[in-house]
């Protein structure tokens, strides 16, 4: 029934039982049909958590570890081919075991898989597999891509980075204790007290103490003494330094005290530790001055007496392990989003990991919001991508300031699809692209923002080839786009936005692939409906109508991808203008255009000079400072719009209310919207709105 499918497309209402909701447990995107058994495919999971190597690597694909061992021990010829086949079969056994929930180290899992294969194949298999295992130069926990893998990988990387800091801090403390203790011991040895029988006995090793008469020795070495060379004031200061170094060494010992599952708990613990951290930093600085003989009481006493947590610099905090906060976000709602932003701006170098299964709420917007804060390292990646972007995980955890790692788990209950496949598809559908933002990487957006994927292509959606047999069993091949709506087929929570199309329900001319629908921007005809392709449990092709709500969300995903591409794309190269000269005259004059950065700075300077004085009653936006966060245009796209530089301005002040202006100012991540005064004195709630607007005047 065309009317029913159009009604569903427009409203999501199901008036006809012949268009039932798709069963997400039995349906999956059509492009997934060839990947029902991931254990038979060779890819970068499971992965091995290894001890941090010299190059910083802390995780390796199991397949690369097996390949490396085979290159070393597999001989040429038939014997080598047999060893390779058996090793790949053992690897596949481990992959299937991990998918079934088994856990363990590589050595344990390899041994168990080898025993099963030895029973099935024979003793030759056991010998080959033992030689390959002996050639593997590493061992560690094996993790598969599931709902917990992002947390396990990031925590492993954090422990490697935190232990490196803690070990360096322990070495610094211990070296200072030895050197300061040496100063005190040397001073004591020159004094009368240091030459008595008890001190002389202590200076000789225990096995030889019975060989000497220490009372006689004390009389022999007795003589004129200079007394203690260290002034009492200095000895007291060194004693205080040694006490602080010893008592605060615990700050570099218990890494468990730096792990949290609550941002509030992490901040409270960090602030509680600050006084001890300040005392330790001061003790290290004072100790360095003492062992070098450069401590001058008249110059340094007042400074160190006043030194407290407020004097700590980022490089001082960088001496200590950074706290790790693991937050299981699930569906990221507005309060959770606001709490994460507040945590990142609290002035502590927290490393925040958010594990979310949310592609349709605010989950994908968490990382882009954090980018707008400016001084936060941001990494967004699905759990399937963390092995590939391992260096950027370490960069986030080593950043001297707050950092956010936003990870999509791929774990969707009731989907029937492996988490790895959903996570990888989340990246491919532009729903959860992989990118990193490093505030220190440069002065421009394209230098600071790294975007993985085909960022230089004009196509918003990746296109894949789909082959299937039609009703007459003829092979049909189509080029289809893969979008957020295709991924929604895997999520039972979004089944309300999809409806199965029965063969006789809609004329074929009214069915429009969603990719074409999105490219067109609007319905091609009043009776047309967009669809995506799926397959059922028997791999039969099913077409699903997509309602307007999901179409809008998919289009927003494409728009967000385009904004990321724009930010990550370098500006065009400078243009060289050559002015032709008449024959016989001097050589042509080459005039090089100024570099893009200098043009931008000049333009910004000119803009700053020409901005007119504004009345506090006038509503306006500091357009040149806009970070393109989309918050204001989401509130009222008729009132707010983007200029050619994708920066916001007030397009039509009459197209909205004073409340729209105030709410936009409150949601703006860089605080550049000034609501001014209300145009309509009869607008409801003005007293409250004026009070809220006062902070944005």
If you average pLDDT over residues 159-172, what whole number do you get? 93
pLDDT for 190 = 57
What is the residue whose two structure tokens read 């056994």?
93
pLDDT for 643 = 86
The full 3-state SS of 528-582, as one line of letters, equals CEEEEEEECCCCCEEEEEECHHHHHHHHHHHHHHHHHHHHHCCCCCCCEEEECCC
Statement: residue 199 has pLDDT above 70:
no
Statement: residue 69 has pLDDT above 90:
yes
Q: Which of 63-77, 425-439, 566-580, 589-603 has the lowest mean pLDDT?
A: 589-603
Domain boundary assignment for the chain? 2-36+479-568, 46-144, 575-611, 615-696
Tell me 419's DSSP state. H
Tell me which long-range contacts 147-152 makes (C-beta under 8 A, separation of at least 24): 147/355, 147/357, 147/409, 147/410, 147/411, 147/419, 148/409, 149/45, 149/47, 149/383, 149/386, 149/409, 149/419, 150/353, 150/355, 150/383, 150/386, 150/407, 150/409, 151/326, 151/353, 151/355, 151/407, 152/49
Count of beta carbons in the 10 Å neighbourhood of residue 88: 15
Using CB atoms within 10 Å of the CB of residue 306, give its burial: 0 to 12 exposed, 13 to 18 middle, 19+ buried. Answer: exposed
Band of the pLDDT at 208, cuts 50, 70, 90? low
Count of beta carbons in the 10 Å neighbourhood of residue 297: 11
Using CB atoms within 10 Å of the CB of residue 213, give its burial: 0 to 12 exposed, 13 to 18 middle, 19+ buried. Answer: exposed
Statement: residue 600 has pLDDT above 50:
no
**CATH code given to domain 615-696:** 3.30.70.20
pTM exceeds 0.85, yes or no: no
The C-alpha angle with vertex 155 and arms to 149 and 160, in degrees rounded to 5, equals 130
The residue ranking higher by pLDDT, 125 or 201, is: 125
pLDDT for 191 = 55
Tell me 31's DSSP state. G
pLDDT for 169 = 95
Q: Which of 120-134, 152-166, 332-346, 606-620 has the lowest mean pLDDT?
A: 606-620
Statement: residue 672 has pLDDT above 70:
yes
Band of the pLDDT at 572, cuts 50, 70, 90? confident
The residue ranking higher by pLDDT, 240 or 688, is: 240
Percent of the chain residues past pLDDT 70, beyond the cut: 82
Statement: residue 171 has pLDDT above 90:
yes
Percent of the chain residues past pLDDT 90, beyond the cut: 44
pLDDT in tens, 402-451: 999 999 999 888 878 899 999 999 998 999 999 999 999 999 999 999 99
pLDDT in tens, 288-315: 999 888 999 989 999 999 999 999 999 9
If you average pLDDT over residues 608-628, what whole number do you get? 70
CB-CB contact of 490 with 534 (8 Å): no
Band of the pLDDT at 319, cuts 50, 70, 90? very high
- Alpha helix stretches (DSSP H) within 449-547: 484-488, 514-520
Query: How high does pLDDT run on average in the chain?
Result: 83
Alpha-carbon distance of 647 to 641, in angstroms, equals 8
Size of the chain, expressed as the number of residues it contains: 697
Using CB atoms within 10 Å of the CB of residue 48, give its burial: 0 to 12 exposed, 13 to 18 middle, 19+ buried. Answer: buried
pLDDT for 613 = 57
If you average pLDDT over residues 354-370, what whole number do you get? 90
What angle, 0 to 180 degrees and rounded to 10, lies between the N-to-C axes of helices 334-344 and 263-291?
Answer: 10
pLDDT for 590 = 41
Band of the pLDDT at 695, cuts 50, 70, 90? confident
Using CB atoms within 10 Å of the CB of residue 690, give its burial: 0 to 12 exposed, 13 to 18 middle, 19+ buried. Answer: middle
If you average pLDDT over residues 452-458, what whole number do you get? 62
pLDDT for 604 = 37
CA proximity to 140, closest of 62, 232, 35: 62
Alpha-carbon distance of 467 to 667, in angstroms, equals 46
Band of the pLDDT at 608, cuts 50, 70, 90? very low
Statement: residue 170 has pLDDT above 70:
yes
Alpha-carbon distance of 341 to 343, in angstroms, equals 5
Tokens found for residue 180? 């300061």
Tell me 361's DSSP state. S
pLDDT in tens, 172-190: 999 999 999 888 776 655 5
Alpha-carbon distance of 555 to 536, in angstroms, equals 26
Look at residue 410 and give its three-state secondary structure. coil
Longest dimension (CA), the chain: 116
Using CB atoms within 10 Å of the CB of residue 430, give its burial: 0 to 12 exposed, 13 to 18 middle, 19+ buried. Answer: buried
pLDDT for 525 = 78
CB-CB contact of 635 with 660 (8 Å): yes
Statement: residue 588 has pLDDT above 60:
no
Alpha-carbon distance of 150 to 432, in angstroms, equals 14
Look at residue 429 and give its three-state secondary structure. coil
Band of the pLDDT at 43, cuts 50, 70, 90? confident
pLDDT for 126 = 86
Contacts of 664 (CB under 8 A, 6+ apart): 631, 632, 635, 636, 639, 640, 673, 675
CA proximity to 669, closest of 338, 442, 379, 445: 338
């Amino acid at each position: 029934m065309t009317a029913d499918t159009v009604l569903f497309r427009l409203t999501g209402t199901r008036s006809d039982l012949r268009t039932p909701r798709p069963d997400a447990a039995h349906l999956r995107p059509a492009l997934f049909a060839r990947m029902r058994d991931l254990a038979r495919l060779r890819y970068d999971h499971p992965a091995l958590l290894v001890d941090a190597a010299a190059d910083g690597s802390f995780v390796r694909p199991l397949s690369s570890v097996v390949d490396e061992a085979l290159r070393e021990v597999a001989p040429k010829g038939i014997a080598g081919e047999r060893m390779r086949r058996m090793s790949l079969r053992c690897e596949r056994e481990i992959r299937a075991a991990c998918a079934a929930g088994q856990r363990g180290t590589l050595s344990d899992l390899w041994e168990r898989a080898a025993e099963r294969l030895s029973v099935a194949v024979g003793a030759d298999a056991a010998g080959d597999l033992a030689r390959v295992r002996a050639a593997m130069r590493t061992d560690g926990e094996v993790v598969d891509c599931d709902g917990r893998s992002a947390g396990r990988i990031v925590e492993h990387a954090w422990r490697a980075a935190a232990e490196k800091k803690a070990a360096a801090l322990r070495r610094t403390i211990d070296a200072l204790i030895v050197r300061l203790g040496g100063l005190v011991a040397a001073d004591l040895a020159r004094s009368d007290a240091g030459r008595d029988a008890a001190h002389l006995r202590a200076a000789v090793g225990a096995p030889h103490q019975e060989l000497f008469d220490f009372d006689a020795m004390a009389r022999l070495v007795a003589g004129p003494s200079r007394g203690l060379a260290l002034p009492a004031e200095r000895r007291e200061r060194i004693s205080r330094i040694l006490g602080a170094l010893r008592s605060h060494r615990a700050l570099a010992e218990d890494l468990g005290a730096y792990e949290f599952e609550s941002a509030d708990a992490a901040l409270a613990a960090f602030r509680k530790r600050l006084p001890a951290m300040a005392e330790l930093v001061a003790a290290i600085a004072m100790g360095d001055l003492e062992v070098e003989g450069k401590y001058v009481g008249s110059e340094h006493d007042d400074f160190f007496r006043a030194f407290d947590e407020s004097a700590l610099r980022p490089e001082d905090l960088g001496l200590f392990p950074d706290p790790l906060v693991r937050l299981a976000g699930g569906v990221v709602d507005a309060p959770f989003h606001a709490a994460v932003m507040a945590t990142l701006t609290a002035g502590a170098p927290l490393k925040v990991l958010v594990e979310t299964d949310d592609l349709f709420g605010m989950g994908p917007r968490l990382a882009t919001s954090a980018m707008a804060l400016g001084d936060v390292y941001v990494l967004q990646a699905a759990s399937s991508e963390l092995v590939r972007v391992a260096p950027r995980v370490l960069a986030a955890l080593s950043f001297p300031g707050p950092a956010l790692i936003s990870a999509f788990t791929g774990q969707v209950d009731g989907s029937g699809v492996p988490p790895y496949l959903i996570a990888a598809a989340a990246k491919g559908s532009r729903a959860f692209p992989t990118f990193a933002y490093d505030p220190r990487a440069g002065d421009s957006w394209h230098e600071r923002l790294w975007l993985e994927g085909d960022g230089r292509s004009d196509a918003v959606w990746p296109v894949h080839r789909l082959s299937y047999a039609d009703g007459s069993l003829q092979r049909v091949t189509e080029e289809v786009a893969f979008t957020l709506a295709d991924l929604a087929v895997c999520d039972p929570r979004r089944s309300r936005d999809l409806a199965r199309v029965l063969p006789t329900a809609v004329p074929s001319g009214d069915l429009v692939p969603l990719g074409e629908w999105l490219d067109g921007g609007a319905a091609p005809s009043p009776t047309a409906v967009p669809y995506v392709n799926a397959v059922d449990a028997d791999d039969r092709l099913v077409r699903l109508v997509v309602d307007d709500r999901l179409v809008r969300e998919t289009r927003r995903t494409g728009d967000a991808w385009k904004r990321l591409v724009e930010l990550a794309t370098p500006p065009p190269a400078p243009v060289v203008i050559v002015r032709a000269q008449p024959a016989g005259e001097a050589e042509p004059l080459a005039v090089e255009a100024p570099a893009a950065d200098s043009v931008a700075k000049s333009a910004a300077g000119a803009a700053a000079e020409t901005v007119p004085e504004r009345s506090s009653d006038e509503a306006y936006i500091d357009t040149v400072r806009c970070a393109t966060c989309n918050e204001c245009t989401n509130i009222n796209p008729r009132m707010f719009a983007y200029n050619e530089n994708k920066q916001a301005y007030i397009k039509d002040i009459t197209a909205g209310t004073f409340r729209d202006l105030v709410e936009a100012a409150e949601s703006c991540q860089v605080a550049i919207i000034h609501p001014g005064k209300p145009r309509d004195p009869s607008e409801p709630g003005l007293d409250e709105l004026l009070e809220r607007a006062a902070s944005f005047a």
